[in-house]
Amino acid sequence: MTQLNFADIHYFSVLNQNILLDVNSGSVHLIDECTMSALDALKMAEGDFERAAKLLNTEENEALVQLKELVKEGLLFTPDETGGFYQPPATTVKSLCLNISHDCNLACGYCFAAEGSFGGQRLNMPLETAKKAIDYLLANTKRTFCEVDFFGGEPLLNISVVQATVEYARAKAADVGKTIKFTLTTNAVGLTPKIEKWLDEAAVSVILSHDGRQKIHDTMRYFPNGRGSYDVVSANIGRYVVNHPDGDFYIRGTYTNKNLDFVADVEHWLQKGWRRLSMEPVVEKEAAYRIKEEDLPKIKDSYNKLARLYDAKRKEGQPFEFFHFNIDLQHGPCLLKRLTGCGAGHEYLVVTPEGDLYPCHQFVGREAWRLGNLATGIERPHLVEELKTAHVYNKPVCKKCWARFYCSGGCQANAQLFNNNLLEPYEIGCKISRLRLEYAIWVAVVPLA
């Protein structure tokens, strides 16, 4: 029997259920305590079944025999189909993020975009620049289906250009036999019934920013004069949800160390009748509200409670969506997505109001990572290559991590921010990803238990 690599399996316990994940195949097994003990012994014995057997009692040895059979049948410790080698395909852009406005009507305390300006001038993207961005996408993609995200700052401050860009893009894409899907992220301050109606009719997906309980929301999401935005934003989002129940939207929050009990914020949303939800950890290097190592137990407790809540609500016939619990154990993403993630810098680019190109919205303002301009194209191809080759197999930590095909190596911008090295992921981000992945797997398999 070949040498067993324990980076190719992961076994863990969540909410009284023992789970075994075969990393390369993605198969999941529900296992008992004897099997857990057998796996522990096998790991201590460095994959030697005979040595492991000497550490176990009779019942545990029966479980060990079953594990050995699974290995023989190719159902456990399955080999990586790529052999651990991956050559990225030729670069083709599949999506653009248009920073349609480098301005904002809020002054959120944790904003990585410096209140919308990204450290530069406050300005909106001209329509001509947006049109050139669409032309660039269509000229540089081999894909039939593409995506365009409207971001900022606050995109609704430049809604007329958003609307004109969608109209232009749809016509141009149709001319060359392509389809473009649109998404817009907004703080909802300027979300009016008229804009809502247009978003729905134009089939634009919407991400609505809200942080949950009023005290939590207003702590970070406030107007330039310091007044909290909860009342205004909640009213607008509430109206949107009621008027467009079948709309394509998510409500997205950010938790900091001020609301490590963020499950209470999810409950607050549910009380409002909002059921398509996402809650993300803040990414901050130095601020007092940053997530620290000592916060992880409380974060785990919140994901624990959230998984229980999620399961209880679906059993009551009142299910809700939580973005990070949406994993597909049957098929999952394609190999390219599993190894490279969002494709920042080679499949995905951000365009600023001036027409500059960056790998993603979090890189904007980091001049060393400006890739080029719509007028000149990519001026720093070596950076594109560096981003493209910063995939799972080239990251030493990721090669040993069971979550590598789910997080795809983590966020490139965060790796660069914290470690100045694309091949060294942001460690706390990794730990949070592994935490919530365990609960996501539990959520996926618990109906089978």
Interval 43-57 mean pLDDT: 94
pLDDT score, position 39: 97
Q: How far is CA 403 from the centre of its chain?
A: 14
pLDDT score, position 105: 94
Residue 85, pLDDT above cutoff 80: no
Residue 332, pLDDT above cutoff 60: no
Least confident of 138-142, 167-171, 386-390, 445-449: 445-449
Residue 336, pLDDT above cutoff 80: no
Q: Looking up tokens 């990414």, which residue turns up?
A: 283
pLDDT in tens, 109-124: 988 655 555 666 789 9
What is the average pLDDT score of the chain? 92
pLDDT score, position 118: 62
195 vs 88, more confident: 195
pLDDT score, position 87: 75
Interval 414-435 mean pLDDT: 94
pLDDT in tens, 264-296: 999 999 999 999 999 999 999 889 999 999 999
Residue 392, pLDDT above cutoff 80: yes
Q: Looking up tokens 């995109």, which residue turns up?
A: 155
pLDDT score, position 448: 57
pLDDT band at 334 (very low <50, low <70, confident <90, very high): low
Q: What is the pTM of this model?
A: 0.92
Which residue type does 53 have?
A: A
pLDDT score, position 335: 57
pLDDT score, position 10: 96
pLDDT score, position 337: 59
Q: Are 77 and 10 in contact (CB under 8 A)?
A: no
Least confident of 73-82, 154-163, 205-214, 376-385: 73-82
pLDDT band at 51 (very low <50, low <70, confident <90, very high): very high
Least confident of 329-333, 376-380, 382-386, 401-405: 329-333
Interval 190-213 mean pLDDT: 96
How many other β-carbons are positioned within 10 Å of the β-carbon of residue 42?
Answer: 25
Query: Residues 303-308: contacts with CB within 8 Å, 24+ apart?
Result: 303/263, 303/435, 303/436, 303/439, 304/14, 304/15, 304/439, 305/263, 306/263, 306/266, 306/439, 307/14, 307/15, 307/439, 307/442, 307/443, 308/15
Cα–Cα distance for residue pair 401/396, rounded to 1 Å: 9
pLDDT in tens, 218-259: 999 999 999 999 999 999 999 999 999 888 999 999 999 999
